[in-house]
């Protein structure tokens, strides 16, 4: 990155939008988790303190990523992916949580390697596909070396089991390949084996099968949906236009499952109503809009693929979470980016914003 280029200002509108969204997330994490934290850990501030620590780490990550030469450092995404594959294997020797082996427990810190894998995969694909020698019109160059590396990572995440993250990472990869010029028929051919494996895991082995059946039942009759979906609908509907008031929500009192993580969007709707939800959605989609602007203004293929891939990945995560909460999709267990409680998700999503802020300095004027 040249001196004149590095001197350009970052997209401060994106940064302030991110910061305001994270602050709203902190407030809502405290509001929705205080009762649970008091009953389980003896302190109503437990989840808030944990999330605040990750906010500080996330801000530090943003400022570090803003300062580095992404194209120079992108070459290290290859050994980084190999290391992450090892971490994805190590989760199986860790204690299970809610029946899944998704986390590495490093003392007081809990890390979800699938989030790290998604982040490094985006950098790796952008760096590799930016190579002018790559001819994605040929199926062979689409399959190798990408399918073995990404496929192994997706397989490990799927058997953790974590179907939600598998879907997000797969759709993120497909989006980057599409931006790079891959043919749709080739993307379809590459995705069929993974879709078949996912169907086998769900309908034959039985992972999340009940959730899928509950979802299909709810499509025909909302009263036949799962407990989580019915409680989410009640929570969203009870808020009305202006909500019950910040901190006054009743569904978080052990009625709505995971009110500070997977279903925080519903809890926000109860406490601050439709008006508050529109503010949150406006902030999230404003950040996506800034990401698209940054991608469209990149002077080279690497920046375009990386900014576009990061923005697409954030959109997929947001859309799936909101789709689940509103009953449009089966329950997947994915957090709402920047808002839900969860350190790994917040750190990786924030690092994605750091990438966009870095690349915003390269936007053509």
Residue 3: the pLDDT is 43
Spell out a b/e string for 90-116, using b for 16 or more CB atoms within 10 Å of the CB, else e.
Answer: ebeeeeeeeeebbbbeeeeebbbbbbb
Indicate whether 195 belongs to any domain: yes
Question: What are the start-end ranges of the H helices in 183-239?
Answer: 184-199, 209-220, 227-238
Taking the C-alpha atoms of residue 123 and residue 306, their distance in angstroms, rounded to an integer, is 6
Indicate whether 365 belongs to any domain: no
More confident site: 61 or 202: 61
Using pLDDT thresholds of 50, 70 and 90, give the confidence band for residue 4.
Answer: very low
Q: In the chain, what is the straight-line distance between the N-terminal and C-terminal CA atoms, in Å?
A: 16
Q: Which two tokens stand for residue 108?
A: 């007081």
Indicate whether 123 belongs to any domain: yes
pTM of the model: 0.90
Name the least confident of 60-74, 223-237, 286-300, 330-344.
Answer: 223-237
Indicate whether 158 belongs to any domain: yes
- Give Cα 11 to chain centroid, integer Å: 22
Using pLDDT thresholds of 50, 70 and 90, give the confidence band for residue 74.
Answer: very high
Cβ proximity of 355 and 306 under 8 Å: yes
| Interval 94-109: pLDDT, tens | 888 777 888 888 777 7
Select, from the ranges 18-27, 28-37, 162-171, 258-267, the one with the highest average predicted confidence (pLDDT).
18-27
Indicate whether 108 belongs to any domain: yes
| Interval 162-195: pLDDT, tens | 888 989 999 999 999 999 988 887 787 777 776 7
Domains held by the chain: number: 1
| Interval 292-347: pLDDT, tens | 999 999 999 999 999 999 999 999 999 999 998 988 888 888 899 999 998 889 99
| Interval 132-141: pLDDT, tens | 788 777 777 7
Indicate whether 249 belongs to any domain: yes
Taking the C-alpha atoms of residue 136 and residue 139, their distance in angstroms, rounded to an integer, is 7
Indicate whether 110 belongs to any domain: yes
Domain range enclosing 308: 3-360
Indicate whether 32 belongs to any domain: yes
């Amino acid at each position: 990155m040249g001196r004149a280029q590095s001197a350009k200002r970052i997209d401060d509108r994106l940064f302030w939008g991110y910061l305001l969204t994270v602050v709203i997330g902190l407030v809502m994490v405290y509001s929705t988790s205080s009762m649970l934290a008091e009953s389980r850990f003896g302190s109503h501030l437990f989840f808030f303190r944990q999330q605040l620590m990750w906010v500080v780490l996330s801000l530090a990550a943003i400022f570090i990523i803003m300062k580095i030469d992404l194209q120079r450092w992108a070459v290290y995404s290859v050994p980084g992916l190999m290391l992450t594959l090892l971490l994805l294997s190590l989760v199986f020797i860790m204690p299970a949580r809610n029946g899944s082996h998704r986390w590495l427990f490093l003392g007081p810190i809990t890390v979800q390697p699938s989030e790290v894998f998604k982040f490094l995969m985006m950098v790796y694909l952008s760096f590799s596909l930016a190579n002018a020698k790559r001819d994605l019109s040929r199926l062979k160059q689409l399959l190798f070396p990408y399918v073995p590396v990404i496929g192994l990572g997706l397989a490990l995440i799927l058997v953790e089991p974590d179907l939600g993250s598998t879907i997000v990472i797969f759709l993120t990869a497909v989006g980057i390949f599409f931006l790079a010029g891959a043919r749709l028929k080739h993307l379809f051919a590459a995705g069929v084996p993974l879709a078949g494996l996912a169907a086998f895991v769900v309908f034959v082995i039985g992972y999340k099968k009940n959730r899928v059946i509950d979802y299909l039942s709810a499509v025909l009759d909302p009263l036949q949906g799962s407990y989580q979906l019915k409680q989410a609908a009640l929570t969203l509907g009870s808020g009305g236009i202006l909500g019950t008031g910040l901190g006054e929500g009743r569904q978080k009192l052990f009625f709505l499952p995971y009110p500070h993580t997977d279903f925080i969007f519903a809890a926000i709707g109860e406490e601050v109503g439709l008006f508050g939800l529109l503010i949150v959605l406006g902030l999230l989609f404003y950040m996506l809009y800034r990401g698209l602007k940054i991608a469209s203004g990149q002077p080279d293929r690497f920046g375009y693929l990386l900014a576009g891939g990061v923005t697409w990945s954030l959109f997929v995560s947001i859309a799936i979470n909101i789709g689940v909460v509103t009953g449009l999709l089966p329950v997947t267990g994915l957090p709402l980016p920047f808002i839900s409680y969860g350190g790994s998700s917040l750190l990786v999503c924030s690092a994605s914003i750091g990438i966009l802020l870095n690349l915003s300095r390269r936007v053509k004027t």
